[in-house]
Homo-oligomer: A and B are copies of this chain.
Amino acid sequence: MRYELYYWPQIQGRGEFVRLALEEAGADYLDVARLPEKGGGGMRALLRFLEDRRVDRPAFAPPFLRAGSRIVGQTANILLFLGPRLRLAPRAEADRLWLHQLQLTVADLVEEVHGTHHPIAGSLYYDDQRPEAKRRAALFLEERLPKFLGYFERVLERNPRRGGWLVGARLTYADLSLFQVVEGLRYAFPRSLARVERKHPRLVELHDRLAARPNLAAYLASGRRIPFNQDGIFRHYPELEG
């Protein structure tokens, strides 16, 4: 099965959580909007699906994944779909729901990170909402970031299998997403993260262990990994760290 990922071509964004799963699994996939328009790729291909009136089940927004005749949208839902197919999810229904619950909590955190630089509207530039962003980011770093990271640290600690994974005794897509969260937060809020990480050794250990996996390391070193930048979800505005 060759998967087709449709996501904005210039940012990691929410699409990156899907890319990391596909890359770690060594899956055959196309990152369609990053391919040349001449070959049927590019933004045109992405917009076509969003706007095509013949699509019965349209996505609200990217990312969405095409798998044969199916189109699956919503980041966490794409991973719910891909998990078993890429061997990045456990077998039992109870374990899969728990994994998905963690992924939705990652999504909540990611949404709050986005809000630190876009508290008023995604349609406005950052420069048009800087005072509000500063106020929101300060409270995010003080209250929410420790709450979220403390939660994931606790989940790692309480997993009875004690292998350092979030769910059960094997790598799942939520581990990869948590790796991305740590990467992104280090980029966006380096001073805060340095401080917070000291209290979350399991999270750091998970991050480092994943970074050393061959497929992931090869991906991170490749041109397929878009660098963090000031258009994505994780942005580095030094003034937001106070």
Contact = CB atoms under 8 A, between A and B. Distances in A.
Contacts of A94: 70
Interface in A32-84: 53, 55-60, 70, 72-74, 76-77, 80-81
Contacts of A70: 94
Contacts of A80: 97, 100
Contact of A121 (B97, B123, B139): B139
Contact of A74 (B77, B101, B120): B101
Interface residues of A, number: 44
A97 B57 CA distance: 11
The SS class assigned to the A binding surface is helix
Contacts of A100: 74, 77, 80
A101 B119 contact: no
A111 interface: yes
Contact of A81 (B56, B97, B104, B115): B97
A186 to B, nearest CB: 22
Q: How many copies of this kind of chain does the complex include?
A: 2
A98 interface: yes
A30 to B, nearest CB: 21
A21 to B, nearest CB: 16
A180 interface: no
Contact of A119 (B74, B132, B158): B132
B104 A57 contact: no
For the complex of A and B, the 3 pairs showing the least CB-CB separation, nearest first, are A121-B139, A74-B104, A60-B105
30 contacts: A57-B98, A57-B101, A58-B151, A58-B154, A58-B155, A58-B158, A60-B105, A60-B151, A70-B94, A72-B97, A72-B101, A73-B101, A74-B100, A74-B105, A76-B104, A77-B104, A80-B100, A81-B97, A111-B111, A115-B115, A119-B132, A120-B135, A121-B136, A121-B139, A121-B140, A121-B143, A121-B144, A123-B143, A124-B139, A132-B135
